[in-house]
Amino acid sequence: MAQAFDGKLEKLDHFRWKIPQTYKPGMRVPGLIYASESLLPGILNDKALEQVANVAFLPGIVKYSLAMPDIHWGYGFSIGGVAATDPDNGGVISPGGVGYDINCGVRLVRSDLMLDDLKPRLETLVNSLFNNVPSGVGSSGDIRASAKDEEEIFLKGAMWAVKKGYGVKEDLEFTEDKGAIEGADPSKVSKRAYERGKDQSGTLGSGNHFLEIQVIDEIYDEKKADAFGLFKGQVTMMIHSGSRGLGYQICDDYVKSMVGCLDRYKISVPDRQLACAPVNSPEGRAYLGGMKCAANYAWTNRQCLMHLTRGVFEKVFNKSWSALGLRLVYDVAHNIAKMEKHKVEGKEKLLCVHRKGATRAFPPGHVDLPEQYKQAGQPVIIPGDMGTVSYVLAGAPGAMQETFGSTCHGAGRCLSRSSAIKACHGRQIDKELFNKSGIIIRAKTRGTLAEEAPEAYKDVNEVVDVVHGAGLSVKVARMRPLGVIKG
C-alpha cells in the first residue's frame, strides 16, 4: 500500500493548499496544491503529495512544487505535477518530470455537423473508426516511416505528416509549437527506440488513449467559444495519444542513465525516480534532445490519427472533410519539459518547465498563440472519462502568475488500473454505458474497459471547477460523449 501523505496542509483559500517547506528538511520551496474540500480526502489518501514534497528538493526549483486537482501517484513526479527550474541557478531536468509517454496529448476537432446529422450514422461511424484507426497494445498502422523518414519526423514533427498529404498547413497553426519543438537531436535516440517507432505513426495505442465522438451540450463563454469555432449542438472529435513505444523507450533509456548523475553532480533527492541532471550539462542536453524527438513524433502521430479520422468521416458521409468542416481547434501536450520565459520576482527568466499530466494554459495576448486566439487565450482541452463530459477551457492570466502557464489535463485517476479491474470484475462496461447513456464503445479488450471505467476517475466537473475558480483557466464549452474508440 502506497504511503499516504502524513503532513499538515495549510489552507490558503477555497482552491489552494500549501505543503510548508518545513515538512521535510531539504525542501527548497513549499508545495502548492490546487484542490477543493471535496477532492482533498482522495488526494490525501494517495502517495502523490509525498511526491510533491520530494520534487521540492530539485536543485534550482523556482517558487513552488505544484500539483493540479487531477493529481495522482506517478513515476517520480506525481501525474498532475508542475515544476520549473532555473538553469542559471543549477536548475535540473528530470525524466520523471515528463514521464514515459512523452507528449501524450490531446487534440480537438470541430465540425459543421449537428447531432441530428450524426445520429443515423453514429454506429456505422464508430465501427468504421474502430476498423480503420489502429489501436491496442503494440498496434502498428499503414503509415510507415523509413529510417530517413523517422529522422525527419524527429526534426520536423507534424510538418512531415502534412508534407506527406496527411493534413494541411492550417493544422500546424493550431498545434502547440506548430507541431514541432526546436532542438530535437536524433543522435540522442537509441537504436531500440528507433525500431519501436518506425511503424506506430497513426496508431492510437492502449490504456487511457482514445478517439471520441462528442456533442457540445453547454457553452459558458460565447465570445471565446466563437473564437474557437464552437457552438451548442455541434459535433466534435477528441483524439488522445502520444509517442507510443518510441517515447517509452527514450524515457526508459534516460531514467536508467541519469541515476549516475545524482552522485556525479552531488544532487540529493529523497527518491531515485527523481534522477536528474543540470539542464546545461551534457546529460541534461542529451535528454532534452531525445525528449524533443519523441515530442515531435507524438505531434506527428496525432496529425496522422486526425487524417485517418477525417478519411472515415468522408466515407461515411460521402463528403470531403473540408465540406464537413473538420477543422482542428487545437492540440496540446500533457507530458513535456520546455524552455519558457516566465517572470520570477519581477524579472523575466528562461526556465525549464516540467509538465507531467498538466496542460499549457497561456492567457490572452501571449506571443505564442495563433492570431485567431490572441484575444480569447489558448484553448485548453480537458477530457473526462469515457462515460462523462469533457471540457474546453481557455488559458487565463492567473496561470502565468502562479503556475508557469499551466493547468490540469483531465479528470485524474482515483483507482489504480489493478484496483479498477477488480472493481469491475464480471461487468460489461460497454453495455452499461450504452444502456445508461447511449454511448457506443468499441475496444480491443475488456481489460481496457475495466481499467478505464468511469469510477476509476475523479469527477471531471469538480476538477475543472477548481482551475476555473482559481483563475488558471476559464470554462468555455462542455461536450458529452456519443461514441468512443479504445485500444
Residues annotated catalytic, as ranges: 409
d(CA 304, CA 103): 15
d(CA 485, CA 209): 9
Tell me which amino acid residue 399 is.
A
Q: Report CA 39 to chain centroid distance, whole Å.
A: 21
With beta carbons less than 8 A apart as the criterion, state whether 377 and 394 touch: yes
Dihedral of CA atoms 152, 334, 172, 233 in degrees, nearest 10, equals: 140
What angle in degrees, to the nearest 10, is found between the helix axes of 244-264 and 282-317? Answer: 170
Beta-carbon contacts of residue 484 (< 8 Å; ≥ 6 apart): 126, 210, 211, 212, 213, 386, 439, 440, 441, 442
With beta carbons less than 8 A apart as the criterion, state whether 342 and 188 touch: no
d(CA 98, CA 95): 5
With beta carbons less than 8 A apart as the criterion, state whether 254 and 126 touch: no
Q: Report CA 287 to chain centroid distance, whole Å.
A: 20
Q: Look up residue 55 and give its three cell numbers.
A: 520534487
Which has the closest alpha carbon to 484: 411, 434, 409, 425? 434
CA angle 56, 60, 64 (to 5 degrees): 40
Q: Report CA 19 to chain centroid distance, whole Å.
A: 25
* 2 CB burial (10 A radius; 0-12, 13-18, 19+): exposed
R_g over Cα of the chain:
21
Beta-carbon contacts of residue 359 (< 8 Å; ≥ 6 apart): 332, 333, 334, 380, 381, 382, 406, 407, 408, 409
